[in-house]
Amino acid sequence: MKDFRDKIAVVTGGGTGMGRELARQLTAAGAQVAMCDVSVENMAETKRLCEAEAPAGVRVTTHRCDVADERQVLAFRDAVASEHATDHIELLFNNAGIGGGGSFVKDERADWDRTFGVCWFGVYYCTRAFLPMLIASKHSHVVNTSSVNGFWASLGPTIPHTAYSAAKFAVKGFSEALITDLKINAPHVKVAVVMPGHIGTSIVMNTAAVLGKPDALHMSATDVAAARDLIARRGIPVDTMSDDDIRTAMHQLAIAFRDNAPVTAAQAATIILDGVRTDRWRILVGEDAHALDRLVRESPETAYDQSFIDVLRAQGFFQLFD
């Protein structure tokens, strides 16, 4: 699919980050876009940006949908069919995601389940819901966003990262299994799995809102204590830091994750769409993703040791987490 003009694309998590940039680049290329998100306000801004840059005749629709809720996903699908007057789509980007639920041992089960629900069941429910519309097209693609944490379940040896990693491993395995399934049963439908490294998005900020928690500057005393422990495990002295200092540090970390990333969300979207155009089923995004992919394959037994992080840092990666 080298040309997106007049194709109908569904993008989940279109309110910010890679979802927003996918929507912008797709509409600029002449595609019709239906996006969903849990934030109506963020989607409205994405729609404004799309319409300002898209050629005449391009349609953008927004739909509030929690992809972890299958009933909402089915309602989203029905709304897309109705508002775009179509029985088919050519592109499905399962992009929505949040963090949270880092520790299976210590964190609240609700946070763990919510993160796994968005990052895994969102992909599963949307693919289930939209598959008949993909099959109804002459040629179509489903593009599932996994992560480097879909093959490396870590943020380093001092930071548990279980819910997100488990979900992204599931997305990767599901996508790879679909290659054969689709080749046998629907050969005109292609699948790609996207594995980004550190991309400049607002996922850290958005996660708190989706989990129903205050932002970093307004964290509860319990969350401050957990953040203090997290910062200390990164080797940063916290004895002289007040609770407000901890809140500010976590807020600045979220901003740094977005603003100091080696790859912007727009650059990531370009890499993803180029991967679709060239029919690649495996799309690594960022030099850090390529480095991690190589190193995990070369030395899987050390992937969760400090020595592995030391090698990454010696090669210029993982600097934000120093």
Q: Which residues are catalytic?
A: 164
- Distance (Å, whole) CA 8 – CA 231: 44
CA distances from 47 to 3, 97, 103, 186, 254 (A): 21, 20, 36, 32, 25
Structural tokens at position 293: 């992919």
For residue 272, give the nearest of 58, 94, 45, 28 by alpha carbon: 94
CA distances from 126 to 241, 253, 318 (A): 44, 32, 32
Strand partners, 189: 140
- Distance (Å, whole) CA 33 – CA 47: 9
Question: Which three-class secondary structure state does DSSP give residue 34?
Answer: strand
Vertex 43 angle, CA 40 and 48, to 5°: 125
Quickly tell me which residue has 């969350």 as its tokens.
223
Q: Which residues contact 204 (CB under 8 A, 6 or more apart)?
A: 99, 253, 254, 257, 258
With contact defined as beta carbons under 8 Å apart, do 264 and 285 qualify? no
